[in-house]
């Protein structure tokens, strides 16, 4: 959805103003999910790193030390928070506005989508000087969010619960729901490795995501970062 679909501000004489245009894009549940998700991913990445590469030594008497146990507990708790909010986010994709479902699909059947996608590729690689403005995610952002964030996030939740079920036991609800994963990855260590690699995929996405958000705020003259706080997309220039 482009900026042409937004409302243009008017001055007291009814003339079109050259000031900012604002459109309500991200509803409160989407914004809450975004920040809870960010906190959970940071916690999971930090604790997951130490689970995969434990500290070589812990000072003090071993019987009085439970550091790795606490790290694992925090990891499991953050994983459950992530999973619950992901389910709520999927629910909101059905009941929220059109922008709430953008990260869950790519409209590959639309020729206009790919035309705009290619323009965004040129924009991000500095091959064109003029950005297009969108109310929600631009086509390249939607494509990337789906392939490099949403799908890996689902993969991490599924494999995470499958790995947890090893300790919970075959009579646990975790194994009942996610034990099938071991039919695909019979070697548990392989699953650990893929889960660990998934963490790096998401972390790389987060770094690029932050860079692009800051870049777009400055270069495309539309609010990106503040939109996930207020819900409003602000267009700082009138589009020609």
CA dist list (Å): 79 to 42, 44, 48, 88, 119: 11, 7, 10, 14, 37
User: Is the pTM above the cut of 0.75?
Assistant: yes
**pLDDT for position 20:** 54
> Which has the closest alpha carbon to 163: 82, 48, 65, 54?
48
Q: How crowded is the C-beta side of 186, counted as CA atoms within 13 Å?
A: 0
E strand map for 78-173: none
The Cα–Cα gap between 30 and 181 comes to 29
Dump pLDDT digits (tens) for 196-236: 999 999 999 999 999 999 998 888 888 888 899 999 998 87
Tell me the pLDDT tens digit for each residue of 147-177: 999 999 999 999 999 999 999 999 999 999 9
The CATH classification of domain 29-58+69-235, taken from the options 3.40.50.720, 3.40.50.300, 1.10.510.10, 1.20.950.20: 1.20.950.20
């Amino acid at each position: 959805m482009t900026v042409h679909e937004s409302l243009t501000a008017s001055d007291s004489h009814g003339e079109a103003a050259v000031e900012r245009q604002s459109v309500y894009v991200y509803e409160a549940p989407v914004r809450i999910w975004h920040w809870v998700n960010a906190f959970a991913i940071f916690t999971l990445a930090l604790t997951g790193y130490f689970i995969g590469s434990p500290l070589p030594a812990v000072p003090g008497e071993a019987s009085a030390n439970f550091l790795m146990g606490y790290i694992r507990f925090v990891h499991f708790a953050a994983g459950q928070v992530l999973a619950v909010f992901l389910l709520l986010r999927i629910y909101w994709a059905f009941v929220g506005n059109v922008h709430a479902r953008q990260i869950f699909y790519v409209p590959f059947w639309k020729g206009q989508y790919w035309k705009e996608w290619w323009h965004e590729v040129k924009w991000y690689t500095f091959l064109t000087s003029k950005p297009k403005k969108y109310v929600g995610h631009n086509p390249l952002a939607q494509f990337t969010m789906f392939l490099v964030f949403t799908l890996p996030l689902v993969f991490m939740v599924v494999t995470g619960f499958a790995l947890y079920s090893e300790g919970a036991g075959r009579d646990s609800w975790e194994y009942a729901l996610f034990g099938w994963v071991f039919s695909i990855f019979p070697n548990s260590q392989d699953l650990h490795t893929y889960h660990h690699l998934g963490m790096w995929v998401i972390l790389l996405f987060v770094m690029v995501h932050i860079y692009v958000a800051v870049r777009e705020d400055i270069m495309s003259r539309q609010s990106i970062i503040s939109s996930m706080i207020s819900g409003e997309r602000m267009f700082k220039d009138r589009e020609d």
